[in-house]
Amino acid sequence: MVYLMSVAKYLRSYEELVKFSMINKKTNEGLQSFKENLYLDKDNVIKELKIFGGMTNYQGTNIISSLKTNYEYYDIDGNIQGIPINKIRNWKTDSLCSNISEMKSLKKLNITIGGDMQGMDLCKRNEIGKG
């Protein structure tokens, strides 16, 4: 199963993910063993989450408010709405919110200043003021 999980990390699109899951029962079981989704395609992230049934960590765009599951940690690309702010681990954004001190799990913060979302690593958790 670990081998199948290693292969799945090289998939490049949602369509490849679906084809991989349909090969046989073992490939689908391998995908169910992931603790984090692959976040292959912004447009199909909700469909992707249905394939990764056993995950506890979420990464992707801010569509969490439309999901029923609560995850241990979130890696967010975009603005924060409807997400438990104390569970955000990584955050890519182009603006800061006023309650950043409540982000107790935050380890990495990428802020984009114009252009694409590659951004700059401006601070890590130990550099963010406590309180």
Q: What is the pLDDT of residues 33-91, one digit of tens each?
A: 888 888 888 888 888 888 887 788 888 887 766 666 678 888 888 777 777 888 888 88
Spatial CB neighbours of 92, under 8 Å, sequence gap ≥ 6: 76, 77, 78, 110, 112, 117, 119
Strands (E) located in the chain: 57-61, 73-77, 88-93, 108-111, 120-124
The pTM (predicted TM-score) of the whole model is 0.63
Nearest to 68 by CA among 80, 53, 78, 79: 53
Return the minimum-mean-pLDDT range out of 22-36, 63-77, 113-127. 113-127
Retrieve residue 106's tokens.
């935050």
Find the radius of gyration of the CA atoms of the chain: 16
Measured in whole angstroms, the distance separating CA 44 from the mean position of its chain's CA atoms is 13
